[in-house]
Structure 1
Amino acid sequence: MTPLYLGVDAGNSKTVVLLCTAAGEVVGSGRSGNGDIYGASSERAAVEAVIAAVKEALTVAGAQPDGIGGAAFRLAGVDWPEDHAFWVDALAAELPDVAALRAYDRCSISNDGFAAIRCGEPSGNGVAVIGGTGSAVAGRGPGGAEWSMSFWIQDAHGASGLVAGALRAVYRAELGLGPKTALTKRLLAYFGYADVEEMLHQFTRRGDRPSRPWHTAAREVAGAAADGDAEALRILREHGEHLADYARVTAARVGFDVASDEVPVVLAGSVIDADGSPVRAAVLAALPERFASARPRLATLPPVAGAALDALAEAGVEVTPEVTSRLRASMPPPAFVRT
């Protein structure tokens, strides 16, 4: 039986899974909900989401778990050793044939930030900077060392971070503690509130919160910046500076000489990938000043494809340009990975 290779990318908005052959052809895919043990309604719910997506992919491929020859689980919420141990136990209980591959170093479990590295750097060595609903920064060094910023990230990023910063600017302006900003009018109109106090009340009160999550207003921040609003421009500039700093620290942690090595920095995620993304522009502007040896490149595949390529590479399959091209050509439609 020809083995298949499993790539899993689990986050707060969705969990997506690919099954591919050693040649890179995608033969199965699955999608489910929140697979983050920190962000799902319960740890059990996160496990069920991941297992459901894997089983869907197996069903589509007409395969069984014992037909998997390598697996890479890239899961939001694998931040501490106990998180890794939690998933080792969960997979042993739910997918014992796949979990058994860990004995042969063919089943790895790590933070979802690692999934994006091979999406822009075929060697798998470099730093990934991901901006989606939230953010992740992870790296793999030339000697194989891995490290994720995880909870070392002390600033909110991604769509949630942009809007959190915008709301803070609006509230401070309302108190007279910060400059007036066009963000006030934009956010009030977007969320449909009459004034700033009502908006603050609705986002902080007990009981049901607004049905429209605040991260969905990220385009309003981008629009205000495009119109020249000073506070929106500041938020974006600081966003880029923070992510550039975190990329440099991560590179050093995994063994790159950040003073002389050329370090691949893969930029990925829905907020960074968007056409004309001001976040991408902010990161690209900050990198030369704060991490001069960085060599940025945009991800050319979604993170779940990077997880599948990790599964291949870790199982000893050479990830050639032909394998990557075949995987890209056989990916499910774009809606499969859309948040």
Structure 2
Amino acid sequence: MTGGLLLGVDGGNTKTHALVTDLEGNVLGRGDAGTADIHATVPEPALVEITLACERALTAAGGSASDLDAAAFNLAGADWPEDFALLRDELTRRIGLPREPVIVNDGIGPLRCGAEDSVGVAAVVGTYCAVGAKNKAGEIFHLGFWPDSTGAYALGAEGLTAIWRNMLDLAPPTSLLARALELWDRTSAEDLLHVFTRIDDGLPAVSARARFAAAVLDEAEAGDIVARNIVRVVGGRAGDYARVCAERTGQVGEPFPLVLLGGVLRHPSRLLRDAIHDRIPESVPVYPDIEPVVGALLLAADTVGAKPDREAIRDALDWTQEAA
């Protein structure tokens, strides 16, 4: 194989997906790996995982990096100027990219899922929440370190906190207790607290708490007041950040696309989506039918003037992405 390939990569806080197609959009290879966030611990493990996902996708496609006409990376952890420099240099070297790749923050790449010009605001709700904006002049705003936690981790963590506050008679009872005891096979709130804090093999703070997000959304939809308040607060934070992004790019005051993506927003309840939109009611919600990895691939295609068949790519994929 000599040339004619595109590479798109979406790397989040829990996993990385890589996709290889030809210039027409025929899916040739896919590859998965672990966290891509260079801020999760130190950069090295994330760089290894991103590289591994790309190598797996290229191997599945029967090609190599030298066959790539373009590559684009949508990455958690691409936050500050030095992050972009590190990622550009290291990924080019480690993967063997023949030309400089496109690298964007994971709050920016998903905009390409919503529109060809990538204009608007995106909120991607996964383990955490990536939020970013781009206006018609090409100006971009995003942060990687928002002050308040959002996403599945925040929903789950707030849900567990509500359970333990009730255990101490500091908060009202909630149906979340029964859901948590069932999920972790425990007999009481105190027993559950022990599971999360014991010295031998306590559960990882992020992944375990994020796992509880679906139950919080379930109980909120069923009418539990405590759970509803959690969803309102967590969704409101994401909505506030989306409004900040819109303001910083001069898009407030007239309708603009609000691209909403991520595994948490695939939950059937509308409560979280509504809580986000309530903070920016002038926005027009857009729910793309493709995942961020496809958005990254389309960004790569844009750099060489290719027009891959978006629908064909969508129909060929069966990934279920649970996080940003």
TM-score of the aligned structures, taking structure 2 as reference length = 0.90
Match of 1:115 among 109, 114, 138: 109
Aligned residue in 2 for 1:191: 184
2:147 matched residue in structure 1: 154
Q: Percent identity?
A: 34
Which residue of 1 is the match for residue 170 of structure 2? 177
**2:149 is paired with a residue of what secondary structure?**
coil
2:286 maps to 1:297:
yes
Partner Cα distance (1:109, 1:206) in 2:
40
In 1: Cα distance, 2:185 partner to 2:19 partner: 40
C-alpha displacement at 1:94, in angstroms?
A: 0.8
Work out whether residues 16 and 31 of structure 1, in 8 Å CA contact, stay in contact via their aligned partners in 2: yes
> Does residue 68 of structure 2 align to residue 78 of structure 1?
no
Which residue in the other structure is 1:224 paired with?
219
Report the residue type matching 2:313 in the other structure.
Answer: L
| Cα distance per residue 1:167-201 (max 9 Å; x no partner) | 22222222222222222232233222232223223
Q: Which of 294, 315, 318 is the equivalent residue of 1:333?
A: 318
CA shift for structure 1 position 279: 2.1
**1:30–1:53 contact (8 Å) kept in structure 2:** yes
The amino acid across from 2:29 in the alignment is G
Structure 1 residue runs of 5 or longer lacking an equivalent are: none
- Partners of 2:63 and 2:304 lie apart in 1 by 18
Distance 1:195 1:84 in 2: 47
The one-letter code of the counterpart of 2:54 is: V
Q: 2:239 aligns with which of 238, 244, 247?
A: 244
- Map 1:274-285 onto structure 2 (within 5 A): 274-284=267-277
- Does the 8 Å CA contact 1:256/1:263 hold for their aligned counterparts? no
Question: How much has 1:338 moved relative to structure 2?
Answer: 5.8
Taking only aligned residues, the RMSD between alpha carbons, in angstroms, comes to 2.2
Separation (CA, whole Å) in 2 of partners of 1:273 and 1:185: 23
| TM-score, with structure 1 as normaliser | 0.86
1:254-299 per-residue CA deviation (whole Å, 9 max, x = no partner) reads x233012x21111100110233454224334x1xxx3232111112
Tell me the CA shift for residue 2 of structure 1: 4.4
Query: How far apart, in 1, do the equivalents of 2:281 and 2:58 lie?
Result: 44
SS in 2 for 1:299: coil
Give the deviation of 1:323 after TM superposition. 2.7
2:123 counterpart of 1:129: yes
Q: Contact 1:273 / 1:280 at 8 angstroms: preserved in 2?
A: no
Q: Which residue in the other structure is 2:298 paired with?
A: 309
Aligned to 1:4: 5
Q: Which has the higher helix share?
A: 1
Taking the aligned partners of 2:82 and 2:22, their CA distance within structure 1 comes to 32
Greater Cα shift, 227-236 or 207-216 = 207-216
Q: Is 1:323 paired with 2:309?
A: yes
* Cα distance between partner residues in 2 of 1:119 and 1:77: 20
Runs of 4+ in structure 1 off by over 4 angstroms are none
C-alpha displacement of 1:220: 1.8
Post-superposition offset of 1:80: 1.9
Do the aligned partners of 1:138 and 1:149 also contact (CA within 8 Å) in 2? yes
Q: Which runs of 5+ in 2 are unaligned?
A: none
Shift, 1:113, TM fit: 2.3
